[in-house]
Homo-oligomer: A and B are copies of this chain.
Amino acid sequence: MAEHIVSSYDNDLQGLRRRITEMGGIAEKMLVDSIAALVRHDKALAQSVIASDSRLDVLQREVEESAILTIARRQPLAVDLRETISAIRVSGDVERIGDLAKNIAKRALAIGEEFQPQKIVLGLQHMSDLVLGQLKDVLDAYTQQDTAKAVDVWKRDGAIDALYTSLFRELLTYMMEDPRNISFCTHLLFCAKNIERIGDHTTNIAETVHYLVLGENLAIDRPKNDRSIDATVNTGA
């Protein structure tokens, strides 16, 4: 009987893990495709990113409901309870990452064929590559319950913030050079912000992995250093 209970519980956990792996794959693809749609002006690709978000929403609901049912039925303790709670947290972050990629895809549609300075496009692409690396690594860290890898992701968030700040300044400069740039630069500003926020969610997941494995939280103060708010630009005044 005890064995039966254990194996039912393991089945529940496997179901949670399977769904989160599927969610991670969808979110990674959404991020890659949304940036590709933006860079290549590919409307069909942008539409497909937007369409795939609903699958993420469904999976998140399933993870949450199934995790709650598991807690109620199996009454897991210690690391088992943490695993169930962590599944809820990670699925929430991955779902938000999908929302942010969807928002980039919507902006790709709105910008359309408008001129995009190559330097900005490359900057966005670079930022997105960095964040994608973070996302892959932190999802691996979650699957493998690898705290060292998670802490490494957590520490790397500062590099993304630095890139965001420099892109932000670049975009303001373009806007000031020519008012015709303002409309699409505003979209690109929000795209950059979305990528930066995806980075924040990978940091959240890293914290969850730390909690899952060690049962304690990482320090509340993050190693982040967003200087874009203080970014000053020569306004030509």
Contacts and interface: CB of A to CB of B under 8 A. Distances in A.
Interface of A: 54, 57-58, 61, 68, 71-72, 75, 77-78, 81-82, 85, 92, 103, 106-107, 110, 172, 175-177, 179-180, 182-183, 186-187, 189-190, 193, 217, 220, 229-230, 232-233, 235-237
Contacts of A179: 175-177, 179, 235-236
Given A106-B229, A110-B229, A229-B110, A180 B220 contact: no
A165 to B, nearest CB: 13
Question: For the complex, would chain A's binding face be called helix, strand, loop or mixed by DSSP majority?
Answer: helix
B175 A182 contact: yes
A43 B186 CA distance: 27
Contacts of A82: 68
A232 B75 contact: no
Contact of A186 (B81, B85, B183, B189): B189
B236 A180 contact: yes
Nearest to A177: B179
B68 A81 contact: yes
Contacts of A230: 110
Given A172-B182, A172-B183, A229 B107 contact: yes
